[in-house]
Structure formats: structure tokens, C-alpha cells
Structure 1
Amino acid sequence: MQYEIVLPADYDMGTIERRVATRAGATDDFPGLGLKAYAVRRRGRFGSALNAYAPFYFWADPAGMVRFLQGPFRAIVDDFGRPAVRHWVALARHRGPGATSTPVLATRESSTLAADLAPAGAIAEHVRTPALGAGVHSQVVGLDPSRWEVVRFTLWSAAPARLPADAVAFEVLHVSDPELHRLLPA
């Protein structure tokens, strides 16, 4: 799941950094959470045209997502209003060679499935196990069936020399991964 709070162009992103530094520990042991990447986009960095706070979550248990939205998510609503929360059904999860390192960057790639293809064939094409480079921590592929869109989140333990084409990049400020072992077995 992910929500993205777009911030003004002149917003002091240090405010978000301080927020993460003081509050991120609250999800370090959150039940049902596989991984939360406290992610931001900064205008002018990694091709971003805007500033945004855009954390994303890989849930090991859907009940954890519900508990989060009914509980700690209240702080986001109180400070920024209630953003739309996108969520996907996980199709594939891959552990990368950099899984033992802390992620510093994330990318999100999206593609709409062709309307003239049967869903099973179109989805299978996106789920194949990719060749993950040395800097990849992990990757999750999800499906939004309301849009017939496949999304690929990749966490990078080191910034790649070149970002994937059409990828949206996020700097990762902190990672909470209390139940990552349930999503990415060794």
C-alpha cells in the first residue's frame, strides 16, 4: 500500500526528515507489517518535479493494514488530511542480492495491462522472476484489478547508475521491517 502527500515546491523537507526521525520507531515492531519504507520525493532529485512524503508498506498480514489505518494512520490524517491510499494484491516477491543492506532508494514502475490480452497471460508476463542486480534489496510486484495495473516496487541498497525507464524514484529515510522474513524467506 502507498499514499503520497504532495508538498509545496518550497516546503522544508527537513520537517519530514525530523518527523521520520522522531516517529519511525513506532512501526519497527508493528504486528503484521512486513516492511515500511519511509520514502520521500524531492524536487530536482532523481528526476522528481515535486516534493512529497510517500511511504509504502508491504503487509505480511492484511489485518495489520486494517489495524494501522484505524490506529497510527490518524497522525497522518491529523497533520495532512486524509490522503487516498492505494493498495495492490501482491503477485510476486523477490529477495535481491543486497537484502542484508539497508535500502536507500526505492523505485515504483507501473504499467497498464493491455485490454486485448487475457488477464492471466498479461499478469504472468510481469511476474517472471527478474535478474536482480547487486544493488537490489528486494522487489514486490502487485496488481490493482480496479485499474488492471501492475506496479513494481524495488528497494535499492545502493542507488543504481541508471534508474529503470519511467520509474518514479523515492529516497528512503528509514525502514521498519518487523515481519519481512514472512514475505521474503531466506
Structure 2
Amino acid sequence: MQAMQYELTLPADYDMGVIRDRVARVGHLLDDWGGLGFKAYLVRERGVHGSPVNQYAPFYLWNTVEGMNSFLWDGGLQRIVDDFGRPSVRQWTGLAYEEAGAARSPALVAVRHRQRVPEGAVLSEAVREAVAETGRLAAQDGAMLAAAVVDTSRWELVHFSLWEHDAPKAPGDVFQVLHLSAPGRDALPRNRHW
């Protein structure tokens, strides 16, 4: 499993209706994309859920590197590049994934929590805790799914979760979910990934 996200931070007075209309118009295009576990079309609006910015920041979990590469190099990302310029695309390696009790409910919000792996930390313990946190998040009332991923170039752990209500029981940046394309969600491997 690979995770990917890019963030388009928009002006404070940007009409976020433009992004909502865009997702309503083209969001379905990834509903059957090969190799995609899911894409959560995410926005943050300045002043909503404590967000300091307006931002479009979709989050992807990929089942295959081929599917991710096809999106990056064979037309999927090009629509964003054409309209907004080329974003910096972050990528993480999957550590754990769990479906939750509300797994098939419509997603209302997502939470992304970033944390550094501290210098001197025993890596096996840090990763074991990340996997355990994935399970804790998935066990919360209203949780749909939880994932833990890591960027070893920055030694950054990311916990990502989807929620059926707008009061998630997880720390981090809260995003509104505009659409969820999930052609390969059922094929995402559960539990820890090693």
C-alpha cells in the first residue's frame, strides 16, 4: 500500500464553491481507476474546523505502484497541473490499514495527523505504536477507516482516518470529504504491512 497527497493552498478569499463544483463534475473519473484503493477528495476552508487556510488536498491509498504511476504519468494528475500548476506530491509507505464499524457509511470528514519519529527512537517501537494507533482510531465510534503511513526521507508518520460525522475522535487537521472514489478499497490489505 502506498499513500499520496498533494495540497493546493488557495487565497483566503478564494471561492471554495469552484473546488466543490470541480469535484462534482470530475470526481467520478477515478471511481474505477485500476490500482486505486481509494481517493478522498478533501478540502479545508478557512475558519471551519479550525483551519487557517483554504485548501484542496486529496488523499490517496494505492493498492499498486502501477496504478499510482498511471495516475501520475498517464493523465490523472495532468488535469490538476493544467488548472493549478504542478503540485508537490507527497508519498508514504503503508504501515497499517483497518476498516471500522462505520465502514460503509458516507464519509463526512477526514483527519490527517502528522508526527515526527523522534531522533533516537527505537524504530520497531515507533512503528508498533503507529500500528496500535491505527487500531485505536478504527475502534472509535463513527470511524470508517484508519491508516498509518510513513515517509522515511523525513521520518514522518501520518495517521489518516475517515469519519461519518463531523466530530472525529482523532487529533490533527480536519478536512471535509467532497467525494470518495474507492474502486479497490476492499482489496487494501488489513492490519500491519510486514
TM-score bracket for this pair, using the shorter chain length: over 0.9
> Could you tell me which residue of structure 2 aligns to residue 130 of structure 1?
136
**1:180 maps to which residue?**
185
* Aligned position for 1:107: 111
Per-residue CA deviations over 1:84-120 (Å, capped at 9, x if unaligned) read 0011101000111110101110000011111112211
Equivalent of 2:173 in 148, 154, 168: 168
Distance 2:85 2:70 in 1: 19
Amino acid at match of 1:72: G
Contact 1:97 1:136 in 2 (8 A): yes
Instruction: Give distance in 1, aligned partners of 2:76 and 2:98.
Output: 28
Structure 1 stretches (4+) deviating beyond 4 angstroms?
Answer: none
How many residues are paired up?
183
Give aligned-pair identity as a percent.
Answer: 43
1:125 Cα deviation (Å)? Answer: 1.4
Letter in 2 for 1:81: G
Residue among 5, 8, 19 paired with 1:5:
8
Q: 3-state SS of the aligned residue for 1:2?
A: strand
Residue 26 (structure 1) shift:
0.4
**1:40-55 maps to which residues of 2 (within 5 A)?**
40-55=43-58
* Residue 91 (1) aligns with residue 95 (2): yes
How has the CA–CA distance of structure 1 residues 171 and 150 changed in structure 2, closer, same or farther, with 3 Å as cutoff? same
The structure carrying a bigger strand percent of its residues is: 2
**Which of the numbers 67, 79, 84 marks the counterpart of 2:83?**
79
Q: Which runs of 5+ in 2 are unaligned?
A: none
Q: CA RMSD in A?
A: 1.2
Check the 8 A contact 2:140/2:169 in 1, yes or no.
no
